[in-house]
Amino acid sequence: MEPRASCPEGTASVERKIHVLVGVTGSVAALKLPLLVSQLLAIPDMWKCRTDPVLHIELRRWADLLLVAPLDANTLGKVASGICDNLLTCVIRAWDRSKPLLFCPAMNTAMWEHPITAQQVSQLKAFGYTEIPCVSKKLVCGDQGLGAMAEVDTIVDKVRETLGTCCSFPQS
């Protein structure tokens, strides 16, 4: 948290910000966190107002379209399961589903062909997200088959098409 020593509209003006970063891990002692934070917030001038933006929320508000390219197997699994443990997965979890989200799977052929992958892709589609399908080619690992991210031109064309139909953006 980055509390401010004073609010912009406050009566007393204090130049200095107080920065306290609280890191929490999986220990059972995390049960004490509410008590710890409440007592930290009781320190005078520790927290007077909440003016800092929440990055993943600001990003979702800012964007008209979210393109996830490439979408690896790990992140696919996280998104399909609702896990949001990094900035990208938090943005996706908070995404305004009235706005388009396009995703471009990319992974090894063996991973692509695993039964869970089809389930996870179907789950993202059920959320209303649009798949730009992977393609078959020789992968960096040397394997041949499905799993390569769609070609850049294909992705750009889909973005243009989507923006042209949903957001009144001119196509170039």
Q: Decide if 111 contacts 73 (C-beta within 8 A).
A: yes
Nearest to 45 by CA among 92, 94, 6: 6
Please count the CA atoms within 13 angstroms of the CA of 171 that sit on its side-chain side: 11
49, 90, 104, 141: the catalytic one is 141
Among this protein's residues, is 141 annotated catalytic?
A: yes
- The C-alpha torsion from 149 through 66 and 157 to 132, rounded to 10°, is 40
User: Residues with catalytic annotation?
Assistant: 141
